[in-house]
């Protein structure tokens, strides 16, 4: 792999993704990693990420200097560039000149192919306080800006380069080129991390892990579990049974999407559990959001266990082989050991099908463990899954249950389903699916307001639109949807959905608001 050393900012995962966009496999490792640990991973290249610290701060992360003696090509970025400069005998100074944002830069040397063939003058994205004031012995200065004389340096012999700017950020005009030049030319790494190869590798691994054992997979209709199921099916065919729990909190057409489109495109063996009444009974009278989440999570596990038991009975009646493996759609960001993250407060108890408890007594099969979300989508497309599933926006495990503020009843769900279907159709028709991260549609079931329709007074419920733009759902901003589109959605909902007489727009960023209302 290419190792991306994480110095504790949000950049390491982004760099890892960009490396993979160059069709090279990458892994994020903490900056506390030792040279032996690095060597044990047999990396073909190392990228040092940026970070929030100053190399002068006591306790700021350092790097085992022996890593630079392993003979592995290194690219240092921002803070990583400065760490590299110090470790190799250059100098870093606190000039008091900060650079932040888009900056004009002049290329002064080619550095082999790193900056070769690029325009002499270009815009790069900077974010730093300290600067490298002297390149290490034997390193050529490759670029400068008005306030940073050493904006990049490199040594062709040692195959080591550093840049002060952030090539992984789209605002750096030739950023991806710099990364690709480093990976393919300097380090000589072939571009063979492709969806097709990933599928081939995973299929082989799954076959090896599972042998002729039986496998079960809980489908939610979302991207991760759908792709995980499809790839396992590719590997072991009908040894896999997929289970889909219809908890009644789904959006319009979602059950059909799984039962018809997913099954048609993959050929998986599917059991649907109709647990709608079970969930409605369990949710009766409940209005507290956390309680709703807990109940939905609990009932989900119950339904899934019932399905697993049915399969055990079926096994007893046939070959006696019980189900041994459980597919989980765990993604790379969930497992990456990074230098940055610390524990976060429990804001909401999340539930998703990837979160089935481990005491279910299955061995886990996790074919997406090494992948980022966009890679999972690419693989889903390669496997021929319908775009409606592969391109689907995030939808929470507890479904519409947490989009009704107030008690969840069947009537309210039906009403919300209609409103949600209108919103989704209009957003798609307006070509905005790629621009928004997701748009929860929320029913304020405990709120009523007076309206007038035709000649009569109405006393109905408001529907809230919560369109958000986001990179990772950790932070978000409300999306500025065109007024005409909002007007059309509002007209349609108030005209077509009985019981709704008002449509309102949520204009809160996250933080302080969360994306979902409950
Ligand atoms: P919040 O509301 O915390 O949501 O800002 C962040 C993202 O997570 C989704 N979400 C969930 N996803 N199970 C999930 O799989 C859950 O319990 C859950 N709750 C929220 C939400 O839709 C948004 O994308």
The Cβ of residue 207 has, within 10 Å, a number of other Cβ atoms equal to 15
Q: Is 248 in the pocket of ligand 1 (CB under 6 A)?
A: no
The response to whether residue 403 sits with its C-beta less than 6 Å from ligand 1 reads no
Atom of ligand 1 nearest to the CA of 352: 15
Residue nearest to atom 12 of ligand 1 (CA): 396
CB of 394 shorter than 6 A to ligand 1: yes
- If one compares 6 and 109, the residue with the highest pLDDT of the two is 6
Q: How far is the CA of 387 from the centre of ligand 1 (A)?
A: 22
| Cα 514 to middle of ligand 1, angstroms | 9
Answer whether 225 contacts ligand 1 (Cβ < 6 A).
no
Q: What is the CATH number of domain 409-505?
A: 3.30.300.10
pLDDT surpassing 90 at residue 92: yes
| % of the chain with per-residue pLDDT over 90 | 81
By alpha-carbon position, which residue is closest to atom 10 of ligand 1? 396
514 lines ligand 1 (CB under 6 A): yes
Q: DSSP characters for 303-360?
A: HHHHHHHHHHHHHHHTT---EEEEE----HHHH---SS-------S----GGG--GGG
Helix (H) or strand (E) holding 460: strand 456-465
Active site residue ranges: 78, 166, 168
User: 489 exposed, middle or buried (CB, 10 Å; 0-12, 13-18, 19+)?
Assistant: buried
Residue ranges of the chain that CATH labels 3.40.50.620: 195-390
Q: Does the C-beta of 424 come closer than 6 Å to ligand 1?
A: no
* Distance from Cα 24 to the centre of ligand 1, integer Å: 30
Per-residue confidence (pLDDT) for residue 358, from 0 to 100:
67
Residue nearest to atom 3 of ligand 1 (CA): 514
Which residue ranges make up the annotated binding site for ATP? 220-226
The DSSP bridge partners found for residue 244 are 219, 272
**Which residue's CA is minimally distant from atom 21 of ligand 1?**
396
The better pLDDT of the pair 99, 354 is held by 99
Binding-site entries:
220-226
Determine the topology of domain 2-186 in CATH: Rossmann fold (3.40.50)
Q: How many other CB atoms are found less than 10 A from the CB of residue 320?
A: 8
| The two three-digit tokens of residue 167, written as one number | 């090539």
**Amino acid 153: pLDDT:** 96
* Contact of 143 with 155, CB cutoff 8 Å: no
Mean pLDDT score across all residues of the chain: 93
Residues of the chain with CATH 3.30.300.10: 409-505
Q: What are the residues facing 47 on neighbouring strands? A: 4, 75
In sequence order, the β-bridge partners of residue 155 are 160
Residues 6+ apart with CB under 8 A from 2: 19, 24, 25, 26, 27, 43, 44, 45, 46, 47, 183, 187, 189
Beta strand 99-107 with 140-144 is antiparallel
DSSP state of 510: B
Q: What is the pLDDT of residue 53?
A: 81
Ligand 1 centroid–CA 350 distance in Å is 7
- pTM to 2 decimals? 0.88
Nearest residue by C-alpha to atom 6 in ligand 1:
473
Angle at 123 between CA 121 and CA 129, to 5 degrees: 115
Assess whether the C-beta atom of 513 lies below 6 angstroms from ligand 1: no
Q: 225-274: per-residue pLDDT in tens?
A: 999 999 999 999 999 999 999 999 999 999 999 999 999 999 999 999 99
Average pLDDT over residues 44-70: 91
Q: How far is the CA of 396 from the centre of ligand 1 (A)?
A: 5
Instruction: Pick from 226, 249, 394 the residue to mutate for probing ligand 1's pocket: most ligand atoms within 8 Å of its CB.
Output: 394
Is 348 a pocket residue for ligand 1 (Cβ < 6 Å)?
yes
Taking only the tens place, the pLDDT of each residue in 141-189 is: 999 999 899 999 999 999 999 999 999 998 999 999 999 999 999 999 9
Q: What angle do CA 315, 316, 319 make, to 5 degrees?
A: 60
Closest-CA residue, ligand 1 atom 11, reads 396
Per-residue pLDDT reduced to its tens digit, 356-386 = 776 778 899 999 999 999 999 999 999 999 9
The two three-digit tokens of residue 153, written as one number: 């340096």
Q: How far apart are CA 480 and CA 512, in angstroms?
A: 18
Q: Tell me: domain 195-390, CATH 3.30.70.1450, correct?
A: no
State if residue 518 touches ligand 1 by the CB under 6 angstroms criterion.
no
Where do the CATH 3.40.50.880 domains begin and end in the chain? 2-186
pLDDT (tens digit, 9 = 90+) per residue, 469-512?
998 888 899 999 999 999 999 999 999 999 999 999 999 999 99
**Ligand 1 atom at minimum distance from 348 CA:** 3
User: Which is nearest to 83 in space by CA: 142, 6, 29?
Assistant: 6
- pLDDT-derived band at 105 (thresholds 50, 70, 90) equals very high
| Ligand 1 atom at minimal distance to the Cα of residue 222 | 15
Q: Which residue is closest in CA terms to ligand 1's atom 14?
A: 396
Across 185-194, 266-275, 320-329, least confident range: 320-329
Three-state secondary structure string covering 172-193: CCCHHHHHHHHHHHHCCCCCCC
Distance 516 CA to ligand 1 centre (A): 7
User: Cα dist. 327→46, 117, 229 in Å?
Assistant: 32, 47, 7
- Ligand 1 within 6 A of CB of 156: no
């Amino acid at each position: 792999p290419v190792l991306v050393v994480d110095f504790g900012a949000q950049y390491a995962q982004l760099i890892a993704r960009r490396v993979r966009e160059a069709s090279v496999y990458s892994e994020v490792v903490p900056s506390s990693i030792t040279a032996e640990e690095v060597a044990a991973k047999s990396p073909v290249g190392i990228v040092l990420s940026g970070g929030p610290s100053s190399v002068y701060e006591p306790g700021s992360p350092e790097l085992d200097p022996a890593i630079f003696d392993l003979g592995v090509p290194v690219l240092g970025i921002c803070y990583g560039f400065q760490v590299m400069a110090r470790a190799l005998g250059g100098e870093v100074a606190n000039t008091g000149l900060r650079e932040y944002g888009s900056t004009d830069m002049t290329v002064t040397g080619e550095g082999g192919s790193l900056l070769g063939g690029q325009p002499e003058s270009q815009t790069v994205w900077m974010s730093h306080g300290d600067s490298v004031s002297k390149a290490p012995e034997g390193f050529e200065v490759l670029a400068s800006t008005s306030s940073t004389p050493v904006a990049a340096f490199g040594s062709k012999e040692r195959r080591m380069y550093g840049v002060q700017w952030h090539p992984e950020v789209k605002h750096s005009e030739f950023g991806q080129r710099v990364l690709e030049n480093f990976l393919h030319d300097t380090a000589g790494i072939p571009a063979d991390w492709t969806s097709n190869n990933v599928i081939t590798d995973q299929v082989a691994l799954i076959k090896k892990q599972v042998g002729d054992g039986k496998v079960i997979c809980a489908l939610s209709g979302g991207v991760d579990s759908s792709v995980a199921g499809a790839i396992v099916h590719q590997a072991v065919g009908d040894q896999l049974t997929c289970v889909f729990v219809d908890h009644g909190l789904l959006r319009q057409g979602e059950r059909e999407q799984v039962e018809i489109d997913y099954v048609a495109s993959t050929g998986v063996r599917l059991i649907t559990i109709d647990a709608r009444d079970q969930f409605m009974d369990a949710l009766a009278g409940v209005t507290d959001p956390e309680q709703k989440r807990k109940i939905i999570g609990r009932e989900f596990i119950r339904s899934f266990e019932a399905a697993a038991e049915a399969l055990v009975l079926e096994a007893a009646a046939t070959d006696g082989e019980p189900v041994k493996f459980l597919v989980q759609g765990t993604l790379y960001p969930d497992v990456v050991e990074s230098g940055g993250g610390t524990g976060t407060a429990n804001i909401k108890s999340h539930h998703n099908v990837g979160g089935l408890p481990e005491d279910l007594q299955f061995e886990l099969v996790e074919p997406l463990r090494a992948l980022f979300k966009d890679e999972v989508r690419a693989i889903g497309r390669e496997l021929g899954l319908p775009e409606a599933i592969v391109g689907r926006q995030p939808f929470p495990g507890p479904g519409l249950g947490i989009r009704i503020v107030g008690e969840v009843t069947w009537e309210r769900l039906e009403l919300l389903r209609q409103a949600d279907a209108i919103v989704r159709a209009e957003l798609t028709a307006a070509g905005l699916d790629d621009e928004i991260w997701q748009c929860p549609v929320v029913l304020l079931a405990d709120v009523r307001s007076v309206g007038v329709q035709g000649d009569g007074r109405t006393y109905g419920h408001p529907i809230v639109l919560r369109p958000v733009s986001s990179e990772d759902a950790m932070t978000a901003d409300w999306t500025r949807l065109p007024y005409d589109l909002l007007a059309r959605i509002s007209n349609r909902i108030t005209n077509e959905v009985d019981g709704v007489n008002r449509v309102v727009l949520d204009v809160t960023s996250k933080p302080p608001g969360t994306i979902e209302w409950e």
